[in-house]
Structure 1
Amino acid sequence: MAPDTLLRLEAVSKIFPGGAVGLDAIDLDIGQGEFLSLLGPSGCGKTTSLRVVGGFEEPSSGRVLLDGQDITGRRPYDRPVNTVFQDYALFPHMNVEENVGFGLSLRGLGAGEIQRKVRAALDLVGLADKIEARVTALSGGQRQRVALARAIVCEPRVLLLDEPLSALDAHLREQMQVELKRLQAQLGTTFIMVTHDQTEALSISDRIVVMNRGRIEQIATPAVLYDAPATRFVAGFIGTMNVLECRLVERRADSFLVAAGSLTFEAVAGSDMPLDGDLIAGIRPEDVLIEAGGVPGRVVGTVFHGRTLRLHAELPDGIGLTIDVPRSDIGADYAPGQAVHLSVRSGAARLLRSN
């Protein structure tokens, strides 16, 4: 275990009754004070991973280590871990102060100490003025903050967040992303968040674990996941990506010349990339260029994206490409049917593993 590792999942598997595989021997190290997101589609294993860490699911095999100590068999209340659930799980018959202080009251603390800790937690989440309010009278964003305060007031080593922002509207969700990151940095607590929202994960995570079918596809920072996805699945799940089947034309010193139909371009690859057989290349829409001398194609559709216009184009051999064009650079209307000439920014394409 690395010196800064707080939590480790070691060869953890979970097989549900009937044989469904929830987790398939995953290994994961999580650092002290890290904001880590588990990202993937429904059924990928992210929530099962969270429940295993929290003690709500017992793994079929493998271990969960905290500070090097095996906590696999400990019940949820015996772990220094708290959870913010998707539906907040607040007590409707209690006011804000009673909800936040509930966990402290179970520890037998005095009323004065509970009140002090509750007020401090509510100050952190910006709800000190709502201490006597009924939770049923609060907005969705306020209820989410109460749930956060209730989780942090007990000073857990690890805070688990199960899609905590999914019930909020888009504008409030963005505000709460900023608040979550601010709170995590201020507390220095390790946060582990489950989400299926790639934008949310990219916005606030230190690292992201992309999961698929009970396995980890890639663990990396947001920038690395976006710029250098390792697999076809990650490339398709993180942002928008043109994924093209291609063939090797020429090996170069630090890159490869490949061709997808009539489109030839330079691509880079990781050192572990197998280069035998058919290849798969990923190209971000902003790296497809409209310029003279490129391969001829035609626009088949457009989508307004604020400061950019997203074009869907097709080459004569049927290959489709998605292109993002800054609207400030647009000198033409790019209506469907318009002819364009397309190329790929040098070195921007990346060869991907198929699994």
Structure 2
Amino acid sequence: MPQDALLRLEAVSKCFPGGVVGLDSVDLDIEHGEFLSLLGPSGCGKTTNLRVMAGFETPTTGRVVLAGRDITSLRPFDRPVNTVFQDYALFPHMNVAENVGFGLSLRRVPAAEQKKQVAAALDMVGLGDKIRARVAELSGGQRQRVALARAIVCKPRILLLDEPLSALDAHLREYMQMELKRLQSSLGMTFVMVTHDQTEALSISDRIVVMNKGRIEQIASPAALYDRPATRFVAGFIGTMNLLDARFVGRDGALLRYLSGDLPLELSADANALATDGQMHTIGIRPEDLVANPQAGAATAPAKINSIVFHGRALRMHASTAGGAALVIDAPRQAMQPAFDVGDIVHVSQRPGASCVILAA
């Protein structure tokens, strides 16, 4: 692990009463100035992880180290860390300026300096004109930005975000995702966000921590997670992935060749240098990397279309092979000539140049 990490979790475990394991020996380094997302299904440990960082939960074992200092036993308000909660936790009896300046008043910052810093924070989130507004007068997106301004005005080393956009409608949520990234980039501050929304994590994160059952499955950039998932769980959780049992049938230069039923698949030889003839692996391939052909070919396998789902610019076909393997195939609408119908037999092949991966259990 790098020695200059801003925040480090060292073998952190958290057990709750009744033997429920929230975190299971988690090691994690968070770098200066990055946007890191904790992603996973409900109950995977991502919120517990965030609460340990914030100081709202004390690890059963392990350490939390901030900039080289052990802060495991520090109370939340003694840490240079602020949290934006899912429900924003604004004070309804205070106006916007009073909400944003609350932390500064606790630190006994002089009134004139408070006013200056509050105004600057509100300008940063685009709410300079709402400084005297009441909380009840604000929209959901405006309340979220007030909560952000209140969190950043005290200049924390790390800003923790607990599903901050979950209460917003889809259009506003997408807009606020870009606003969050813009704000983080302009401040140069470290953001750590909990989300269960993979699209949200993929769109704004520098790195993503995928969690499952209290453990970290993989830490990688959005592109690496999508293109090179390390485990079957990550492949199934990030986007849509065909998970196919395939038999190794040989090498062709820099390529490994597999057969999943009658479907030929190939991938880079560096993916598994120890593959031997007849060895079985689980191969992951994205729906956009499979092609449905109207005619049989040398490297195709027949499959029956069970359903076709409209996905805007693409159509998603759910098909099954003669051997019973389920396939998901995405095709651009313009490319579906002639058009396929439910019940048709198509001939499936791997898109030329497309990648697939060998997945660990």
Bin the TM-score by the shorter chain. Answer: over 0.9
Equivalent position to 2:291, from 270, 289, 292 = 289
Give the secondary structure class of the aligned counterpart of 1:303.
strand
Q: Deviations over 1:225-248 (max 9, x none)?
A: 000001000000001100111222
Written as runs of structure 1 = structure 2, the 5 A alignment for 1:146-165 is 146-165=146-165
Equivalent position to 1:348, from 331, 337, 355 = 355
Aligned-pair identity (%):
65
What corresponds to 2:328 in structure 1?
Answer: 322
Written as runs of structure 1 = structure 2, the 5 A alignment for 1:1-355 is 2=2, 4-268=4-268, 275=275, 278-291=280-293, 292=295, 293=297, 294-345=300-351, 346=353, 348-354=355-361
CA distance in 1, matches of 2:254, 2:27: 31
CA distance in 1, matches of 2:208, 2:67: 21
CA distance in 1, matches of 2:269, 2:242: 16
Alignment-mate amino acid for residue 199 of structure 1: T
Give the secondary structure class of the aligned counterpart of 2:118.
helix
Structure 2: 5+ residue runs without aligned partners? none
CA distance in 2, matches of 1:259, 1:6: 46
CA distance in 1, matches of 2:23, 2:124: 35
CA distance in 2, matches of 1:253, 1:218: 30
8 Å contact kept, 1:267–1:281: no
When the two structures are aligned, how many residues end up with a matched partner? Answer: 354
Cα deviation, residue 268, structure 1: 3.9
8 Å contact kept, 1:300–1:337: yes
CA distance in 2, matches of 1:349, 1:160: 35
8 Å contact kept, 2:302–2:347: yes
Cα deviation, residue 332, structure 1: 2.3
8 Å contact kept, 2:271–2:358: no
Cα deviation, residue 313, structure 1: 1.3
CA distance in 2, matches of 1:160, 1:80: 11
Cα deviation, residue 249, structure 1: 1.5
Q: Deviations over 1:166-216 (max 9, x none)?
A: 000000000000000000000001000000000000000000000000000
Cα deviation, residue 296, structure 1: 1.6
CA distance in 2, matches of 1:205, 1:221: 8
Structure 1: 5+ residue runs without aligned partners? none
8 Å contact kept, 2:63–2:72: yes
Alignment-mate amino acid for residue 161 of structure 1: L
CA distance in 2, matches of 1:273, 1:163: 41
TM-score norm. by structure 1 comes to 0.96
Greater alpha carbon shift after TM alignment, 311-320 vs 50-59: 311-320
Give the secondary structure class of the aligned counterpart of 1:144.
helix
Please provide the CA RMSD for this pair: 1.5
TM-score norm. by structure 2 comes to 0.95
Q: Deviations over 1:75-133 (max 9, x none)?
A: 00010000000000000111000000000000011111111000000000000100101
Cα deviation, residue 283, structure 1: 0.5
